[in-house]
């Protein structure tokens, strides 16, 4: 065998977002209790109904056990040893509410996300979330002209309480699962998007999540509603500083699609993955679900996951409307001691509903990468169709790939196809590339990118380029 060790070394990429911003934080005491929930709600000046909603979630949370069915291993998280709210405190008093601490602007600049509109890529509006709060949402005015609401979750609660009340928890109830219940109790901010009837959102919307403070959990919620015939493409990106301790990120994302509406939700997740020894890194325990409520509605999840010590997430679609469509395209790359248990659930409820699942898992080093997916066809879902393809690529011989497909069909008319492959980068492929002049690192990167092509094709253009780069960086050094 050629060069297992060498190839594995290719995976030792440097994490380039590992620095931290030195900024004073407004934190509340450590620990988790009903009082903490009340403090967070008070900090956000929330209406009574939302506090009630949070407390209901918290009560339910207390009855739940931490789930252990995922194919991941980690020491128990001490939830009492976390800060649940940490907001950057401005040094001086800012002149207006719209003004942002220059240090934060600098932070996002350094991450490649300039928040001054004149500097931004035209056509992409950004909501920047730093620890527990949204620091700025760009292009709000222009979007408002089109009738689109894009703002932080906190602002939405203040400015559009009726919409929040109508949809919050309607896809992921606050009692859904352990982490969703925790999030519902203590969430601090996130993004809110509402696209009115018949509107095509004039620009890409995106949220950039940054965890900065130590021993702080990030619990944000995203809620996107596309009314009849509306169309939106939304992107999210995530990074965190390099720290020795693990940090928890437990988000909830809810999507609602009415008749003929379409939501395209793309993620490039690059949380700090821990070092080569597996020390530190983010625990990414996320619940993402979209409801295709309307006829012919469509939700498409595309994710590129290269970060986090542990990833536990299953962006799912409830295909309620007749002829609605759910899609899931995923690239998950794990290296060193990273673990990922990710996949999707496609629940076919309406007639002639269709779903497509394309999952590409890449493991290097000692990493473990699992695809876990459920395709469920309910009794009434006549004419339902699903196609799933799960491919795994192994780099080196100490990593693992696992596939857990679950299929439940209660309608004999359903067509469900599942294909799975596992392959390794072969010595023959490497030699072929090197004989043509490519070095080993570029060869591996090219082969891996080729493996992921079906998914990258689904990403918005500028993200596709970023995703390819990210993959190369994450694999860097795996060849000596």
Partner 1 sequence: MLRIENLHARVDGKEILKGINLEVAAGEVHAIMGPNGSGKSTLANVLCGREGYEVTSGSVSYDDQDLLALEPEERAAKGVFLSFQYPVEIPGVSNTYFLKAALDAQRRARGLEEMDAADFLRLLREKAGLLQLDPSLLSRPVNVGFSGGEKKRNEILQMAILEPRLAILDETDSGLDIDALRVVSEGVNALRSPERASIIVTHYQRLLDYIVPDHVHVLRAGQIVRSGDKSLALQLEEKGYSWIGEGEA
CA distance 366 to 335: 7
419 belongs to the binding site for partner 1 (CB under 8 A): no
In the complex with partner 1, the residue whose CB is nearer, 207 or 359, is 359
Report the distance separating Cα 259 and Cα 74, nearest Å.
Answer: 42
Nearest CB to partner 1, comparing residues 211 and 331: 331
| Beta-bridge partners for 341 | 312, 370
Exposed, middle or buried by CB within 10 Å (0-12, 13-18, 19+), for 297?
A: buried
Least distance from partner 1 to the Cβ atom of residue 386, Å: 23
Kindly give the interhelix angle for 427-435 and 440-451, rounded to the nearest 10 degrees: 120
Single out the residue of 3, 158, 170, 175 in contact with partner 1 (rule: CB under 8 A). Answer: 3
CA 394: distance to chain centroid?
23
Could you give the C-alpha distances from 433 to 11, 50, 76, 425, in angstroms and in order?
18, 58, 44, 12
By residue count, the chain amounts to 480
**Site for partner 1 contains 2 (CB under 8 A):** yes
Position 4 contacts partner 1 (CB under 8 A): no
Draw the binding track, 235-274, toward partner 1 (x: CB under 8 A; -: no contact). Answer: ----------------------------------------
- 329 phi/psi in degrees, rounded to 5: -120, 125
Closer Cβ to partner 1, 452 or 464, answer by number = 452
Comparing CB distances to partner 1, the nearer of 127 and 391 is 391
CB of 452 to partner 1, least distance (A): 7
168 binds partner 1 (CB under 8 A): no
Binding to partner 1 (CB under 8 A) within 420-459 occurs at 426-429, 431-440, 442, 446-447, 449-454
Q: Which is nearer to partner 1, 231 or 424 (CB)?
A: 424
Q: Does 389 bind partner 1 (CB under 8 A)?
A: no
Q: Of 427 and 462, which CB lies nearer to partner 1 in the complex structure?
A: 427
- Residue whose CB is less far from partner 1, 220 or 441: 441
Cα dihedral angle (355, 286, 130, 57), rounded to 10 degrees? 120
Question: Which of the residues 187 through 216 are near partner 1 (CB under 8 A)?
Answer: none
- Residue 290, number of CB atoms within 10 A of its CB: 27
CB of 159 to partner 1, least distance (A): 46
Q: Check binding of 171 to partner 1 (CB under 8 A).
A: no
CB 219 within 8 A of CB 188: yes
Nearest to 373 by CA among 359, 392, 353: 359
Is residue 75 near partner 1 by the rule CB under 8 A? Answer: no
* Cβ-contact 124, 204 below 8 angstroms: yes
Tell me which residues touch partner 1 (CB under 8 A): 2-3, 426-429, 431-440, 442, 446-447, 449-454
């Amino acid at each position: 065998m050629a060069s297992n060790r060498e190839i594995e070394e290719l995976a030792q990429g440097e994490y380039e977002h590992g620095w931290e911003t030195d900024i004073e934080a407004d934190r509340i005491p450590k620990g988790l209790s009903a009082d903490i929930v009340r403090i967070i709600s008070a900090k956000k000046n929330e209406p009574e109904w939302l506090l009630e909603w949070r407390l209901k979630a918290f009560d339910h949370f207390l009855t739940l056990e931490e789930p252990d069915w995922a194919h991941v291993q980690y020491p128990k998280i001490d939830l009492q040893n976390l800060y649940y709210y940490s907001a950057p405190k401005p040094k001086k008093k800012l002149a207006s509410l719209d003004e942002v601490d220059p240090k934060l602007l600098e932070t996002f600049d350094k991450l490649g996300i300039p928040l001054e509109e004149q500097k931004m890529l035209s056509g992409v509006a950004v909501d920047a979330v730093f620890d527990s709060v949204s620091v700025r949402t760009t292009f709000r005015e222009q979007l408002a002209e089109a009738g689109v609401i894009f703002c932080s979750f906190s602002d939405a609660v203040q400015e559009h309480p009726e919409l929040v009340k109508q949809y919050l928890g309607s896809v992921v109830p606050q009692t859904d699962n352990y982490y969703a219940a925790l999030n519902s109790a203590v969430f601090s901010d996130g993004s809110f998007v509402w696209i009115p009837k018949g509107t095509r959102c004039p620009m890409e919307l995106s949220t950039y999540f940054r965890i900065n403070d130590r021993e702080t959990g990030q619990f944000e919620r995203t809620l996107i509603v596309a009314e009849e015939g509306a169309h939106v493409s939304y992107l999210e990106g995530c990074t965190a500083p390099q720290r020795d301790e693990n940090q928890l990120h437990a988000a909830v994302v809810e999507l609602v699609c009415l008749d003929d509406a379409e939501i395209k939700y793309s993620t490039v997740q690059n949380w700090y993955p821990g070092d080569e020894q597996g020390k530190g890194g983010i625990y990414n325990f996320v619940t993402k679900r979209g409801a295709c409520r309307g006829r012919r509605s469509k939700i498409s999840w595309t994710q590129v996951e290269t970060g986090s010590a542990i990833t536990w997430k299953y962006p799912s679609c409830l295909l309620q409307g007749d002829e609605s469509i759910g899609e899931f395209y995923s690239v998950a790359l794990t290296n060193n001691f990273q673990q990922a248990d990710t996949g999707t659930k496609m629940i076919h409820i309406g007639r002639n509903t269709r779903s497509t699942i394309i999952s590409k898992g890449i493991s290097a080093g000692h990493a473990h990468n699992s695809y876990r997916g459920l395709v469920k066809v309910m009794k009434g879902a006549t004419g339902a169709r699903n196609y799933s393809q799960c491919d795994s690529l192994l780099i080196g011989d100490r990593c693992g790939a696992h596939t857990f497909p679950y299929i439940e069909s209660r309608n004999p008319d359903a067509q469900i196809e599942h294909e799975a492959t596992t392959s390794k980068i072969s010595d023959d492929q490497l030699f072929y590339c090197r004989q043509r002049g490519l070095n080993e690192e570029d060869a591996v990167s090219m082969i891996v990118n080729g493996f992921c092509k079906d998914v990258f094709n689904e990403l918005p253009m500028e993200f596709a380029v970023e995703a390819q780069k990210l993959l190369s960086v994450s694999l860097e050094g795996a060849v000596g």
